[in-house]
Chain A
Amino acid sequence: MNGHAHPITLAIARISQIFSSMGFDTVDGPELEDEWHNFDALNVPGDHPARDMQDTFWIQGAKGQNKHGEDVGYVLRTHTSNMQIRTMEQYVREGRALPLAICCPGKVFRNEATDATHEAQFHQIEMLYVGKDASLSMMIGMIEKFFSEFFGSNLVVRLRSSYFPFVEPGNEVDMQCFKCKGTGLIATGDNVATPDQPLVGLGCNVCKQTGWIEIGGAGMVHPKVLEAGGINPREYRGFAFGCGIDRMVMLKYGVDDVRLLYNGDLRVVNQF
């Protein structure tokens, strides 16, 4: 009898496959990260209120220096966005030609009380594209393609204006509900919608009857972030997107408690 891969592994493998087919490399990077790569280089300086937007695990007594010779502390990375900087740095170091197109799945950490939908450790997927032709429309196209492939259904996404220091414009991303196809309703029996009669059915439990699912954050890479990575924002633009892998798995399969993914329980794993 074959064993079962962890659902997060399955999701990551599928995510990499989707991105690979679109020409995006998968990269990995450190979970224990310096403050510069996790915050400063992402346009979140030390005294900025945006640092409060994420609850951070700081490492006791760990000190190092960034590439400018300044003292930095260490954290458990609060997002996979650290890999935006590390990958840009690598491209510049190795003299690789742009466009840069990567995805980065990985474990991240937040210092917040745990419950069914919050874990102190979870997984994120980051997408980054840097080229001369990057635009918000291209970002939407990539995100739609990604979710459509992952959830196996043609989905549209919508942007809401928001703020993350490392992107400008910055957006929250909502995905059309893959279960009710954006209607907010699940048909019961052989009930189908007609031009004269709207769909009658049960409220969709996945999107709480809104037809939309809040799924991630995205935007055009802030020029300061490109600079921190060593890329001249006068010549290049970028877009980035990030969302929780755990959340994607929980949505797709109806897993009701994120903690079940990390307690090593085969009753969960073996269902996949």
Chain B
Amino acid sequence: MKFSKSWLQEYIEETLPSSEVIASTLNKKAFEVEEVLFLHGDSIFDIKVLPNRAHDALGHRGMARELCADFGYTYKDDIRTEKSIDFYNAIVPSPLVAIDDTKSCTRFMSVRIDKVKVQESPQWLKEKLEAIGQRSINNIVDVTNYVQFAINKPMHAYDARSIVGTLRARFARASEQLVTLDDKQLTLDEKTLVIADDEKVLGLAGIKGGKFSGVKDDTTSVILESANFSASLIRKTAQKYSLKTDASKRFENGIANSLIEEGLYMTANIIKELFPDAIISLVADAYPKVDTPYYVGISLSEVNSILGTNYTEEVIEKTLTELSFCFEKIIPREYIEKVYPTLIGVHYKNPSSMREDAPHAFSCSSLISYLYKGIWMPSVSIDKYVFTQRVTKEQLQFGDLVFANSGEGLIRYESIEFLRGTKVPEGVDHVGMYIGNDAILHATKVEGKVVVQTFDEFVKSRTVVGYGRITDTLDEKRYVVTLPSERLDIRIKEDLAEEIGRIIGYDTLTPTLPSLTRTGLLPKRTYYENKVREILLANGFSEVMTYTFGDEGEVELVKGLADDKEKLRTSLRKGILQSLSLNLYNAPLIGQKVIKIFEFGSVFVGGEERRHFALALDDGGKKSTFTEEVDLLLAEIKRTLNVDVLDYETVSAKPYCISLDFDTLITTLPEPTTYEAPTFASLPAVTYQPVSPYPCITRDIAMWVPSGTTWESIYALCGEVSNPLVTRIDCFDTFTKTIEGVEKTSYAFRLVFQSFEKTLTDDEVNLMMEPYYELFKTKGYEIR
């Protein structure tokens, strides 16, 4: 998303530093800044906000809060997000809103504003939107867009004339029709959440509005919609209709219900600023399940063990303050001791949610979670059993948990959410807390409330299954943070550790190493592959890697890169033979007469993924045979691996290619017990020379030179011509003979010409040969 520096500045007391400093700081501490542009005296940052921060930072306000944390600046609130006196006017009728399914729509607010006029936006509004690449449409639509990019809350405005009855978030009826604002005709299905009035569908909830009900040129009365929807539902729906919008992007990541009111008030307040005579109705708010604050706690030692640091309490507290996180310091033992007496007698309710029902009602399990404020634990009793450290009855301390099976009702035998599926054969359906002196605190159905009982009383109606300890550090102080509502990304202590670590700066971490005394081993397959590789390399074979994709195979991709790459190979054969012919074609450039290659790779055959091995060799000649060479090589592999059978078919005609199932070959071999570095484990000290995509041209020279003239000297002589297009010079034949009493040596060699820019012609190469002939002539060498 694009952010304007001047817009960000509106939320910050101190003057922001240079754009460079902002970009480099954000890069380190929070987000990747992909681009900085300078536009009409403003800086525009294109910042990549990943899904974890899409809840808060896809708006200027959230990004400004981040900058405040990064730089230790003071955040300046925008009071336009608050309910003002203007919202208490009952002259204009308030819209009616309803939610059919509270899981798919968690809050729905609306307000009507009369006496507005649709016209061009004021300059400031146009500039703001245009700076971040948005097109100005009209004042009303622009205000809703402005709010979206200011506080990350997508908004929608309807022409009040087009709404009949109640605004309702409901699922579409099969085949219901909708024409979107951009003229797309959609046929909806029953899993599509829409906003509708009594007569018709008005828009795709959280994705796009409908054409019919949108703001028109002659609109004088608007109805604002501010709602929140299920993130996964919006994501699925946007995918289904191929409609990705700025709104759907925000909803599919999830936003806080607190933004619903802020967005509504802000939009209405700005419209009122534009039209001081406008009249705002009372606000409609359907909010079936009101959010309560979320607490996450962490101790100093937890921060330091996760990060590997020695931060002090002062540093942690300063950092939490910079993050604008409200926190309290809690010593769990003291907190539990102080709070539990106040809960005795509180109503028992099951199921019961800690966030919604506490402290007015508890289940056995939510009572425990509530008392351990700021220490994360799973919610269900059996999960708490799996989560905790087992202790014996004799070891029981204050705060330990007592798990029981009451023998009736829903008894769990395996964990639900935590370490899901862990078996607990004794069965668990109840948990209490040991509070010392033979006393257990628990919320119980039997008594219908929270009680303190003796052990004997506790076991009267249930069997104790085991005891568990939440923490060994009940006396260590914890920072329990009340999270800003938008920060849906912070839910566990590790999230807090990250916040603290990144704001202090990861450059303060001192690298350490684990103290492992063992030597790491190779997997069996790699271990034996390396043995075979060593044999092949010693025999002049080079290794290739080819593509897994092809046009033949049993396993098919839903969508491949191309029509001929939609299937997974069943054998290495095709790939290695293609490589063989490529390399035969390039043989002069490679300087090898016989091309020998091999490959190890996974293939997908017979419903299984198998590791295959293949080798191939050829010299491009018609008569050559390699049967014996291949047989000897495979015999050596068989001998080295010490396998009884090496199942392959002797090849006696071209192409000389062997392909076999390596996994089968090594089945009976033992697991390696020591690490052996393969001979090729050291990385060669070479610099890669690029290869040309154009074909080469070769020229062979044979000449007589005085006996004793070395090949090296001739090679050096060729270098004097210094033609950069000569890619290689290979001597392929040499012999010495006495001619007319003089001993002479014959050298036959090949010059390979290749350009990086074009295909060379014979004429061009012939010309390039001239300097060589000249040079050899002056040396008195006799070209044969």
Residues of A within 8 A of B (CB): 1-6, 8-14, 16-17, 19-28, 30-32, 47-50, 53, 57-62, 67-68, 76, 99, 101-103, 107, 109, 111, 113-114, 120-121, 129, 131, 133-138, 140-142, 144-145, 150, 152, 158-163, 165, 168-172, 220, 222-223, 227, 230, 232, 234-235, 237, 252-256, 260-272
Name the A residues within 8 Å of B542 (CB-CB). 3-6, 266, 269-270
B539 interface residue per 8 A CB criterion? yes
Residue in A closest to B495 when the chains form the complex, CB atoms: A168
In the bound complex, what is the Cα–Cα distance between A48 and B541 (angstroms)?
Answer: 47
Other CB < 8 Å A-B pairs besides A59-B558, A61-B556, 12 of them? A16-B522, A76-B557, A136-B501, A138-B308, A158-B507, A161-B506, A163-B52, A220-B497, A223-B494, A265-B583, A266-B544, A268-B688
In the bound complex, what is the Cα–Cα distance between A217 and B565 (angstroms)?
Answer: 29
* CB neighbors of A among B526-573 (8 A): 526, 530, 533, 536-549, 555-561, 565, 568
Interchain residue pairs A-B with the least CB separation, the first 10:
A264-B579, A137-B308, A23-B516, A135-B308, A169-B498, A47-B232, A141-B511, A20-B520, A264-B544, A161-B502
**Inter-chain contact A3/B539, CB cutoff 8 Å:** yes
Name the B residues within 8 Å of A58 (CB-CB). 557-559
**Inter-chain contact B306/A161, CB cutoff 8 Å:** no
**Inter-chain contact B492/A163, CB cutoff 8 Å:** no
Name the A residues within 8 Å of B163 (CB-CB). none
Which of A3, A160, A165, A235 contacts B543 (CB under 8 A)? Answer: A3
The stretch that binds A, out of B26-34, B443-451, B761-769, B772-780, is: B26-34
Name the A residues within 8 Å of B30 (CB-CB). 161
* CB neighbors of A among B466-521 (8 A): 492, 494-495, 497-498, 501-502, 506-507, 509-514, 516-521
B309 interface residue per 8 A CB criterion? yes
Question: In the complex, how many angstroms separate the beta carbon of B529 from the nearest chain A beta carbon?
Answer: 9
Name the B residues within 8 Å of A223 (CB-CB). 492, 494
A-B contact pairs, 18 of them (CB 8 A): A5-B680, A6-B542, A14-B681, A19-B520, A20-B675, A22-B513, A26-B522, A57-B559, A61-B556, A67-B421, A120-B565, A129-B514, A159-B506, A160-B506, A169-B502, A263-B582, A266-B542, A266-B592
**Inter-chain contact B498/A168, CB cutoff 8 Å:** yes
In the bound complex, what is the Cα–Cα distance between A9 and B541 (angstroms)?
Answer: 14
Name the A residues within 8 Å of B359 (CB-CB). none
**Inter-chain contact A264/B546, CB cutoff 8 Å:** yes
Name the B residues within 8 Å of A272 (CB-CB). 684, 686
In the bound complex, what is the Cα–Cα distance between A176 and B246 (angstroms)?
Answer: 37
Name the A residues within 8 Å of B691 (CB-CB). 260, 265, 267-268
**Inter-chain contact B387/A232, CB cutoff 8 Å:** yes
Question: In the complex, how many angstroms separate the beta carbon of B530 from the nearest chain A beta carbon?
Answer: 7
In the bound complex, what is the Cα–Cα distance between A222 and B376 (angstroms)?
Answer: 14
**Inter-chain contact A6/B545, CB cutoff 8 Å:** yes
B687 interface residue per 8 A CB criterion? yes
Name the A residues within 8 Å of B497 (CB-CB). 169, 220
Name the B residues within 8 Å of A256 (CB-CB). 688, 690
In the bound complex, what is the Cα–Cα distance between A136 and B510 (angstroms)?
Answer: 9
Name the B residues within 8 Å of A252 (CB-CB). 683
**Inter-chain contact B420/A23, CB cutoff 8 Å:** no
In the bound complex, what is the Cα–Cα distance between A109 and B583 (angstroms)?
Answer: 26
B333 interface residue per 8 A CB criterion? no
Which of A137, A150, A268 contacts B512 (CB under 8 A)? Answer: A137
B609 interface residue per 8 A CB criterion? yes
Interface size bracket, B side:
35 or more
From known contacts A264-B546, A270-B590, infer whether A32 and B578 are also in contact, taking CB-CB under 8 Å: no
Name the A residues within 8 Å of B494 (CB-CB). 168-169, 220, 222-223
**Inter-chain contact A32/B568, CB cutoff 8 Å:** yes
**Inter-chain contact B309/A137, CB cutoff 8 Å:** yes
Residues of B within 8 A of A (CB): 27-32, 50-54, 231-232, 235-236, 252-253, 305-309, 386-389, 418-421, 492, 494-495, 497-498, 501-502, 506-507, 509-514, 516-523, 525-526, 530, 533, 536-549, 555-561, 565, 568, 575-576, 578-579, 582-583, 586, 589-590, 592, 595-597, 599, 602, 604, 609, 675, 677-678, 680-684, 686-691
Name the B residues within 8 Å of A103 (CB-CB). 520
In the bound complex, what is the Cα–Cα distance between A48 and B388 (angstroms)?
Answer: 30
Of A50, A68, A109, A136, chain B has the most CB atoms within 10 Å of the CB of A136
**Inter-chain contact A266/B540, CB cutoff 8 Å:** no
Name the A residues within 8 Å of B510 (CB-CB). 137
Residue in B closest to A234 when the chains form the complex, CB atoms: B387
Name the B residues within 8 Å of A49 (CB-CB). 51, 54, 235, 252-253
**Inter-chain contact B523/A28, CB cutoff 8 Å:** yes
**Inter-chain contact A68/B421, CB cutoff 8 Å:** yes
Question: In the complex, how many angstroms separate the beta carbon of B20 from the nearest chain A beta carbon?
Answer: 13
From known contacts A168-B498, A264-B583, infer whether A101 and B561 are also in contact, taking CB-CB under 8 Å: no
From known contacts A9-B680, A253-B687, A267-B590, infer whether A26 and B548 are also in contact, taking CB-CB under 8 Å: no
Which of A5, A160, A262, A270 contacts B533 (CB under 8 A)? Answer: A5
**Inter-chain contact A163/B53, CB cutoff 8 Å:** yes
From known contacts A22-B513, A145-B513, infer whether A109 and B548 are also in contact, taking CB-CB under 8 Å: yes
Which of B565, B578, B602 contacts A264 (CB under 8 A)? Answer: B578
**Inter-chain contact B492/A237, CB cutoff 8 Å:** no
In the bound complex, what is the Cα–Cα distance between A138 and B511 (angstroms)?
Answer: 6
**Inter-chain contact A220/B516, CB cutoff 8 Å:** no
**Inter-chain contact B28/A136, CB cutoff 8 Å:** no
In the bound complex, what is the Cα–Cα distance between A261 and B538 (angstroms)?
Answer: 22
From known contacts A20-B520, A136-B307, A220-B306, infer whether A13 and B511 are also in contact, taking CB-CB under 8 Å: no
Residue in A closest to B30 when the chains form the complex, CB atoms: A161
Name the A residues within 8 Å of B683 (CB-CB). 10-11, 14, 150, 152, 252
In the bound complex, what is the Cα–Cα distance between A141 and B555 (angstroms)?
Answer: 42
In the bound complex, what is the Cα–Cα distance between A30 and B514 (angstroms)?
Answer: 28
In the bound complex, what is the Cα–Cα distance between A116 and B453 (angstroms)?
Answer: 72
In the bound complex, what is the Cα–Cα distance between A252 and B235 (angstroms)?
Answer: 41
**Inter-chain contact B507/A138, CB cutoff 8 Å:** no
Which of B502, B595, B599, B609 contacts A30 (CB under 8 A)? Answer: B609
**Inter-chain contact B513/A138, CB cutoff 8 Å:** yes
Which of B32, B54, B509, B688 contacts A136 (CB under 8 A)? Answer: B509
Of B420, B520, B542, B590, chain A has the most CB atoms within 10 Å of the CB of B520
**Inter-chain contact A142/B514, CB cutoff 8 Å:** yes
Name the B residues within 8 Å of A48 (CB-CB). 51, 232
Question: In the complex, how many angstroms separate the beta carbon of B69 from the nearest chain A beta carbon?
Answer: 11
In the bound complex, what is the Cα–Cα distance between A172 and B29 (angstroms)?
Answer: 11
Name the B residues within 8 Å of A62 (CB-CB). 555
Name the A residues within 8 Å of B597 (CB-CB). 264, 266
**Inter-chain contact B523/A26, CB cutoff 8 Å:** yes
Name the A residues within 8 Å of B386 (CB-CB). 232
**Inter-chain contact A170/B561, CB cutoff 8 Å:** no
Name the B residues within 8 Å of A171 (CB-CB). 506
